[in-house]
Each structure stands twice: as structure tokens, then as C-alpha cells.
Structure 1
Amino acid sequence: MEKLLDVLLLGRVRFHDLSMRGRVVLSQLPLNLTMLLVCLIAVIADPEIFGNPGFLIAQGWALALLVVAAAVPWDRLPYGWFLVMPVLDFYPVGLLRYSTESTLPGLGLLAVFPIMWLAGSGYRPRIMVSFGGIAALLMVWVPLFLGGRATPHELAANLVVPFMLLAIGVGTSVMTLSGMAQQQRVQELPERAETRERLLDTVLDTVDVGVLVLDDHGENTYLNAKERQLYMAALPAGSSTTNEAELLIYWEGRDELVPPEQRPLERVLNGETIEHEVYQLGRGPEARTVSISGRQFVDAAGNKAGTVLASTDVTEVVAAVRARDKFLAAMSHEFRTPLTNILGYAELLHDDPSLSPAAKSDLQIMARNARHLNHMVDDILLSSVTGSDAPLLRRPLDLSELAQEAVASARAEATSRGIEVEVTVDGPLPVMGDRTGLVRILDNLLSNALKYSDSGTHVTLATCKDDDWAVCSVNDEGLGIAPEDLKRVFTRFQRSDAAVRSGIPGTGLGLALAKEVAELHDGRLDVTSVVGVGSVFTLRLPLRKTHADLPRA
């Protein structure tokens, strides 16, 4: 009873939340309340109507149907049996209409209640709507036949009410079916959403990538199993902190803790996007090396909705890359040591006045081939960086510092060739990159500049900042490159015609590999050149945002 009242008063309980008995009673109640209202009107309009047996029988029948609706356990009966009630309602409505036609006309419209009940049940709608229309027609025609007034004129005059009731039934049925379809879709949406959420959780817990999701306030909303495992590796011994600033996060390859403001999560929360940056979590044998990417995401309205951080465990990959670099360093040493000895002794022998011109010529050929072999070793080392399937180990670097180191390494060769090398540095240029790859690019550019320059010329290496780019240019006063050769200067195993004619040794591989490494760093390598004047090779890399560059929250 409490739920019935709540539904009638448009409270929190909905019609479909009631039991079958409650729904049947609630569907029957409007007719009974309306017939009660008819009684009250009859007291005022025509009290003598209470002496009419038909009026009293109709009221008693309707009241009995309400008692039956409340007494029958409809939940135990097969679905659809409750429609017996609106069918039986047509009898008291028809009797009430017939008995009060002269004093209270229009009571036949009370049949709208059983019509709407039948049509709105959703049970075999075509049959129920048709049955309701036929029942309404019989309700008005049967008394005419019984009273001997079933003339064509009378039958036609009484078609309006049944037609109106049929139209109401059709409209009710259409709205009911539409509402049921919509309700079904609404019920399916949470199920589908839950299924998709479970699928997403399963996928994220299955993949070997740690995923951390935070809402727009920076609160943790999702942490998959892999991310939880990596998080445990970064916890200080005996600690259960949830503060990222207290986690043991180190720069990869260094024993220095990453400052709180430069940690990946803090940077991403401040609006920065990071990709494949390598850090070390924890210390000792349980430490893990991870490649972290992260960015913010927005909702459908374009507003910030949260942050996603993805961590890939690259501990084994980094170990393999280090083993490779160690092997390449050892191989480089094993090659360079005898080559250096050959070149050194060749120069000593070349200064021996007792040598014949033919012997000196042979020594020059030997030295030239040794230098050529030395450059080939450099190209092989650079090729190992671009040809590996392992990801670049990006870490914070200073391009200006690398440039100074490259010039210092090349100065000995420049002196031996009588070429002056200068370096101009315009302050630090922080970048994220693979040290081995960037060093090989600078060494290759300087080596090419020296190789194609004559004695007495200058080679200048300069670094500067250009908007969001770190720029390093190598300028020489050498042979220069013809316009037709500029198009293929970065093509593997391609050399300019001038270089071939001059007899300068080379494989045509170094510049192509240098450009590939630059592009792997999301940068580029360009060249401008004038024949007989010289060439300028320009390396551009994205600047790494420091804490001072990050937008304030």
C-alpha cells in the first residue's frame, strides 16, 4: 500500500518496481475512482439515479473487480492473465452508460481506461488494440440491438465514441512500445558499459605495459597490475608511500635521483607530453628500467579530463643494448689500435729521408687506406644505432656539451690536416636523446667537414637555440656539393661526383645514417652548399622542457 501511494504521488518508486498484484490494482484504480466521482456528481445532478438497478449493478461490479484485483496472486499466474480485468471492465462501463444515458450522457468515455490498459500492456499489441476497439463498438451497439433501435442512422451516429477510443488505443500502444524499446536500450547500456569496462580491465591487466590513469584533479583512478608491480620496485625499503616525490626514481645510467619537479608524472600533470623517456626505478637487484610515455586527455567538450601514464619494462632491453655497446666499443678499440699504429708508423717512415719516392708513394697509399678503414669503422658503429630493433634510450643530455666533446675529439685529426676547428656555444641546450646516436652524428659531420676541406681552411661548429629547437651547425670551407648531388646526399651508399673524382675515400653511408638517427629523435638534418665555397650541415632536435619552462598549474 505504501508503494502504491508513492507511485500515485509521483514519488521515488516507479510503476515497474511494483509487484504484479500492485500493478494490476494500480491499473484498475483509476476506473473505480472515476466511478466514485460519478456517484458524487449524481448526488447533485440526479439523486433519483441511485434507484436505478443498472447504475447500482455497474458500481457494484466495478468495486468487485477492484477487490478481485487486490485478492488474486497475479504473480503466480501465467503472464497475460491480468488482461482479464480490462476485458471485464467493459461490462460496468457499458451498463453505466446505458442506465444513465438520459441524465449523465458521455459516461461511455470511461471505456478509455480499459482501452489504455489493454493497449499499454505491451502484450500482443495488435490483438489487444483490435480487441479494445471491437469491445468499445459492442459497448455502444449492443444496447441499440437490445432496445430495437439498431437502425443504420443510430448505428452510424454511435460510431464516434468507439473510433475515438480505438485511436486512443493505437496511440497508447505506439507510445508504450516505443517506451519499452527505449527502456530496454537504457537497461542494456549499463550492461554493455560494465562488459566493456571488464574487457578493458582484463586487457590492461594482461598486457605487459603498466598503465596509470588520474582524473582532472590528479587523483588516482586506475592502476593495472603491471604498473603496481613497477611501483613496488620504486618504493624505498620498508615504505608504503603514495607520494611520487618520495619514490626512488633515478636518471637511467646515473646514481642521481630525479628531482621531484622533473619526474614524469609531475611534468605530465603540468601539461607536458613525454614519449619513451627512460628511468630507473629502485636500487639493487630488484631495480627496473622503464620507458615512460604520458599525456593528458580531454573529454567530449574539450576540457581536461585526466592524465594517462604508460610504463614499459625495458630492463632486459637496456641490458642487451649495453652489452651491444660494450661489444662495439671493444670492437672499435680492437680495430682502432692497430689502425692507429699503422698510421703512426707510416707517418714516421714517410719522414725518413732515405726512402725512395716509390716507397713514399706506397706509404701514402697505405696511410690512405688505413684512414679509409678507420672511417668505415665509424660508419659501422653508427649503423648499429639505426639498424637495431631496440628503442633509443632517451635520457637528458646537453647538445652544447656533446658538441664541445666532439670538437675536442676531432682536433687531433684537424691539426694533422692543417685545418683549424672552432666551436661556438650559446649556452646549454637540454634535449632528450640517445647519447651514442647523437655523438655519432656530430662525429660524422665533423669528420666529413675535415675530409672534404683543404689545409689552411676553417671548420666551425656552432650551437644555438631557435624557438623550441636545439640547433647545431657544422660549417666548412671545402669542396661544396653540386645542386644535383644535394638531392641524394642523404641516400645510403651515394657519393657526390666531386668526391669520387677527388679520390677521397668513403662509403656513402655516414650521412644517411646520421639523418636516420636525427629523425629517430624527432629532429632533422639539413644541408646547404655552394660548390667551391663550402657546406653547412644543420642538426635540429626538440628542446627538452625544464621545470622553469613548464606552465604553472
Structure 2
Amino acid sequence: MHRPGAQLPFAENFHSLGLRARVVLCQLPLVSCMLVVVGVFALAEPAMFANPWFRLCLLLHAVVLALCALIPWERLPVRSFQIIPIIDFALIALLLHADGQALSGLGMLLVFPVIWLSVSVLKSRILISFAGSLLAVLVPVLLSEAVNATHLLRLVLAPVIMLAISVSVHIIANNLEFQRAQIATAEAELHKVLQASREREQLLHAVVDSIDVGLVAVDSRGAVTLVNRQQEEFAVRASAPGREAATPDLQADHSKIYDDDGVSPLPPQARPVHRASRAEEFSGQIMWLGEGPQRIAVSAAARKISGQPVTPESPGSVVLFKEVTDQLAALAAKDDFMSAISHELRTPLTSILAYVDLALEHPDLPGQAADYLAVADRNAERLLELISDFLSSSAGTLEIQTQAADLADVVRRSMLSAAAGAAAKGIALINEIDHELPAEIDPGRMTQVMDNLLSNAVKYSPRDSTIRIRGWRDGGTSVLEVEDTGYGMDAADQRRVFDRYFRSSSARSSGIHGTGLGLVVTKEIVNRHGGTIEVASRLGAGTRVTVKIPKAGHQAEDALPPKAFVLGSRRQHAAGNS
């Protein structure tokens, strides 16, 4: 608590003292001044001690001080001790009479009983102070042998000054009492708030300790402010054998923490809490904790506590860790199953397509039969694309063979492929690329990228809408952009758009079929070219997909995700891998 200035040793705790001690302390200033008066008279006028009135005055002062200390004021009626300042008026009057100069400087001693009474709770305290001062100076004057005009003037002036002092002290005392009452009320409210805050904090700890999700809260400086019990268990899993336990934030260098491939150690700067301390927001970061049979996989997500810009005073971020070992095992089992089924289906399907092609090339094929076979061929092609997507999401090898090529040609070929589907819905495909976009790419793979992007744009756009394809050079990077005015996605769906088997809520509600693998395959191809892909969308307003391919578009090993994919594209590629 702030203290405005230095205080006497007893002043700060005055109200915590016993009543007798407080009465003595209130009387001490007058007694101290009387000691000074005694000293002055001893040096300047020793004859004063021969005056019986002076000796009586000193004796009475000593008696009153002793009474202050000995009388059990707590047992007497309330405020009975306030008789002491009234007695002080009489003692001062006796002193003035002994001095023989009724209105000498000794009259200033009246200030002490005046102040004492003025801060009391007596209803007539100001009147009593004035009357006591008046009588204290009036009695010596009346007992004086000679009274002149000066005496009369001082007789009026002294009580009036004491009255002014009494009023001023009374006002100040009331103001201080009011402020003290306000402070007491504020302290009571603060106590209630602190108690409520403690109860909420206990509730918060009970809640966060009861959930099966690890939680770490960090401030804007990266210091951990909250950890729950589940996170401490995760830290135990991440501890190296024979080493001290890992810290709950999983940032210790000796922690056994691996990237989503389960092999590559995850450096501290790439771990979730460190990323959150840089005000990053993310979700779905997979990491493996520990080694051996106790090893688990967790998925981490981070969100800023406040949407305000990051400052030293901002509240920081919350990082959540959820165990996903069983989910990853289930996904792996599903991938294995789909891979096996796809391999089993691909061989006979390739044979079916080959024989359908041969039948379509027969010169004597009736027109109606040709139409039937064309439908069968188109649906078999679609089935082969689905199988290729399933295989693309399974473990394997992805080969990118780059060469100098023009991305503008890739766009034109993909637009020709998408033209029929777009025309059936009255969708206008507008190519705004009017110049070459040279790049080191795998033309077949990049064609697959554009086919997927245009196919999605056509599928998820309403009739009579527009799809625009743009391309330009940004320094050493080639940029392609596909923008539609279709159904769009909300922010939650955008964060998961590259998750395997994920389909946005707007896509599901539209009734349009899909596997949720097209963008997964697309992102993998772009990553293998060392590039990036970004999606910007608004629900009901359309989607914009931006692909950036650097000039040196060869395979960038440091840009590869931990799991490689086998990518298939249509019939020839499937036949080659069967």
C-alpha cells in the first residue's frame, strides 16, 4: 500500500492499540509541552517554582497523566475518557493564573484540548472547545488585579482563534473519517472480488485438470502461466530414460519429441508452445512423444487468447494437445485397406477400359451401342480417377521429373478438359493469362494440379457463374490463381481443407459427390515442386486458390512432408503401375 510520507512509530497502528494506550498518547503532546515549559522556567525564571499555583498545576498534570494510564476506560461508559481534555482546560487556566500573564504564549497550549475535542464524537464538541478556551483565559483575567483594553482584546481574540482551529480540525477530521469509510468499503469490495477470483481460479483448475486434453497457457513473452494435469502426463511420456522429466511445455532439448513421421526429432523452435509464443495460430500439428511401447501421438493446436495485436501487455496464447494415437492407427488401417482394394480393382478396370476402347474403335459398331459404350467408358474413367486418388493418399513414392515448360500451356490444356463440364452448367471459363510462364516443372503433374483445381471450381459453382484463371511472375516465382464465385467455405473449413478425406460443410450440403482427396494430392504435388498453395474463401461468395512455383522448381527435399505419396493420373499412369 502506498504511504504518502513518514509517520511516527505509533501513528500507523494507532487504532489497533488499547483504549488506555490511546488516551495516554492523546495526552502526551500536552504533557510534553509542559515539560518544555518547566525547562524554560527552570532556566529563565526559577522563582516560578516557588509559586504554589504553578506547583499545583504540575502536580495535577502528573495526576491526570497517571489517571489516563491507570483507569480502565474500557469498563466505563463509552467516551468517558473525553473528560480529560475538559480537565486540561482547567489545568491550562491554572497555569495562566500562576504565570500572572493571562494571555501570554502559554495560551497556545489550549490547542491540544481543542484538537482532542474537535476530533471526538461529542455532539457539542465545537461549543465545548470554544467555552473551554474562553473560560481558560477568562478566569485568570478575572482574578487579575488590573484589566485593561489590551487584555479584553486578547480575551476575545484567543477563544475566537481556538474556535476557528476547532472548526478546521472538525472539518478535516470528518473528511478523513469519510475517506477512511470509503477505503474500508473499497477494501471490503476488493476482498469480495479477490475471494470470487480465488473461487473462479479453483474452478478453472478443477475444470482444466478434469479434461483429457493437455493445456498450456503462455503469455506474450512465452512464459508458461498455466498447465493442467494431462499435460504433465504428456511431459512424462516425452521424458528420456534416465534423464529428468521433460518440462510441461515440451520445450526441453532432451525431450523425446518427433515430427509427424515419427523419426525426425522436432527442434524446439518448431514445437507448438514456441510457435504460440510467436503469436502463431495453427491446428493439426502432429508430433510423437517418447519411445518404445509408451510412445504416443498428439495433435497440437494454438489460439491467441485475444484478437488484439500482440503487445507486451497482451494475454498470450493457449496451446491444446490431444492424444491421437488410436486415430492415426485407424487412419493407417483404413489407408492400407483402401490401398489393397484399389490395387485389386485397378488391374481389371484397366483391362475393361482397354476393351471398351477397342469396341469403340470398331467400324461396324451400331450408333446406340456406341453411345452405351461411351457412357461406360466415361464412368470407368471416373472410377479409375477415384482409385488413383485413393492410391495417392497411401504411402509410396512420388516421382517428379522436371523440365523447362510453359505453365500457360498447362492451363490451356486443363481448360480444354474442363470445358465440357463447365459448358453443361453454363459456367464461363475465362483465361486471363496472355503471356508465357516459363518454369521448371513436371508438366504431367502440374496438369493434374490444374485439373483438380478447375474440377473443384466447376463442381462447386452455381449455374451461369464465372471462373477466372490468372497467372503472372513475381520475381523468380510463377503464380497461378483460380477464382470462382461458388459456394465458398467458412474459416473453420478453410483450416482443414488440405486434410485427408475432409469435405467442407457447403460441399456436403450441396449433394455433390467427392472423396476429399483432390486437394490433398494437389498440395503434395505443389510441395514436391518446392512451391506453396493457399486457399482464401468466403461462405457464399466463392473461393480463390493460389499456387506459387519457384523458378528452380526441382524437388526440394527440405520442403517434403514426412510421408511420400504415389500419384496416379488416368489410364496410362495406372496401367504403368499395375
TM-score, normalised to structure 2's length?
0.56
Q: CA shift at 1:171, angstroms?
A: 0.7
Aligned pair 1:361/2:361, yes or no?
no
Residues 418-437 of structure 1, C-alpha deviation per residue, up to 9 Å, x if partnerless? Answer: 99xx994689xxxxxxxxxx
Residues 146-198 of structure 1, C-alpha deviation per residue, up to 9 Å, x if partnerless? Answer: 7997xx99779834422321221221231243145336646865774475256
Q: Please state whether the residue corresponding to 2:24 is helix, strand or coil.
A: helix
**Counterparts of 1:147 and 1:49 in 2: how far apart (Å)?**
16
Aligned pair 1:181/2:192, yes or no?
no
Query: Which residue in the other structure is 2:167 paired with?
Result: 166
**Structure 1 gap ranges (5+):** 1-5, 386-399, 405-410, 428-439, 452-459, 476-480, 493-505, 528-535, 548-553
Aligned pair 1:350/2:360, yes or no?
yes
Query: Which residue in the other structure is 1:39 paired with?
Result: 38
Distance 1:247 1:379, change over 3 A: closer
Matched letter for residue 128 of structure 2: A
2:533–2:545 contact (8 Å) kept in structure 1: no
**Counterparts of 1:86 and 1:99 in 2: how far apart (Å)?**
21
Query: Which residue in the other structure is 2:264 paired with?
Result: 256
**Counterparts of 1:301 and 1:35 in 2: how far apart (Å)?**
67
Q: CA shift at 1:226, angstroms?
A: 2.9
Distance 1:80 1:308, change over 3 A: farther
**Structure 1 stretch displaced more, 317-326 or 293-302:** 293-302
Matched letter for residue 136 of structure 1: S
Distance 1:224 1:32, change over 3 A: farther
The 5 Å alignment of 1:62-461 reads 62-71=61-70, 77=74, 81=78, 83-97=79-93, 99-100=95-96, 102-103=101-102, 105=104, 107=106, 109-117=108-116, 128=121, 130-142=123-135, 158-179=159-180, 181-182=182-183, 185=186, 189=190, 192-193=193-194, 196-197=197-198, 199-207=200-208, 208=211, 209-212=213-216, 222-242=226-246, 244-268=252-276, 271=278, 273-276=280-283, 277-283=285-291, 284-285=293-294, 287-293=296-302, 302-303=311-312, 310-315=319-324, 318-319=327-328, 322=331, 326=335, 329=338, 333=342, 343-371=353-381, 424=439, 444-445=452-453, 447=455
Residues 29-78 of structure 1, C-alpha deviation per residue, up to 9 Å, x if partnerless? Answer: 2222122223334445655554555544444343334334444567xx37
Q: CA shift at 1:445, angstroms?
A: 0.9
**Counterparts of 2:310 and 2:536 in 1: how far apart (Å)?**
39
2:218–2:225 contact (8 Å) kept in structure 1: yes
Query: Which residue in the other structure is 1:431 paired with?
Result: none
1:446–1:474 contact (8 Å) kept in structure 2: no
Match of 1:473 among 476, 480, 495: 480
**Structure 2 gap ranges (5+):** 1-5, 143-151, 394-398, 404-409, 419-436, 443-447, 460-468, 491-509, 523-531, 549-557, 560-578
Q: What is the RMSD of the two structures over their aligned residues, measured on CA atoms?
A: 6.1
Q: Please state whether the residue corresponding to 1:246 is helix, strand or coil.
A: coil
The 5 Å alignment of 1:7-26 reads 8=8, 14-15=13-14, 18=17, 21-26=20-25
Q: CA shift at 1:539, angstroms?
A: 2.4
**Aligned residues, how many?**
446
Distance 1:444 1:116, change over 3 A: farther
TM-score, normalised to structure 1's length?
0.59
**Counterparts of 1:118 and 1:86 in 2: how far apart (Å)?**
7
Q: CA shift at 1:106, angstroms?
A: 5.5
Matched letter for residue 34 of structure 2: M
2:93–2:135 contact (8 Å) kept in structure 1: no
1:27–1:117 contact (8 Å) kept in structure 2: yes
Q: CA shift at 1:136, angstroms?
A: 0.4
2:349–2:384 contact (8 Å) kept in structure 1: yes
2:535–2:546 contact (8 Å) kept in structure 1: yes
**Counterparts of 1:349 and 1:472 in 2: how far apart (Å)?**
43
**Counterparts of 1:170 and 1:139 in 2: how far apart (Å)?**
19
1:58–1:95 contact (8 Å) kept in structure 2: yes
**Counterparts of 1:308 and 1:324 in 2: how far apart (Å)?**
35
Q: CA shift at 1:206, angstroms?
A: 1.9
**Counterparts of 1:186 and 1:310 in 2: how far apart (Å)?**
36
Distance 1:525 1:71, change over 3 A: same
Q: CA shift at 1:540, angstroms?
A: 6.2
**Counterparts of 2:90 and 2:309 in 1: how far apart (Å)?**
58
1:473–1:537 contact (8 Å) kept in structure 2: no
Q: Please state whether the residue corresponding to 1:100 is helix, strand or coil.
A: helix
Q: CA shift at 1:252, angstroms?
A: 2.8
**Counterparts of 1:140 and 1:286 in 2: how far apart (Å)?**
91
1:281–1:289 contact (8 Å) kept in structure 2: yes
**Counterparts of 1:22 and 1:347 in 2: how far apart (Å)?**
115
**Structure 1 stretch displaced more, 352-361 or 187-196:** 187-196
**Counterparts of 2:28 and 2:310 in 1: how far apart (Å)?**
47
Query: Which residue in the other structure is 1:496 paired with?
Result: none
Distance 1:259 1:522, change over 3 A: same
**Counterparts of 1:177 and 1:254 in 2: how far apart (Å)?**
69
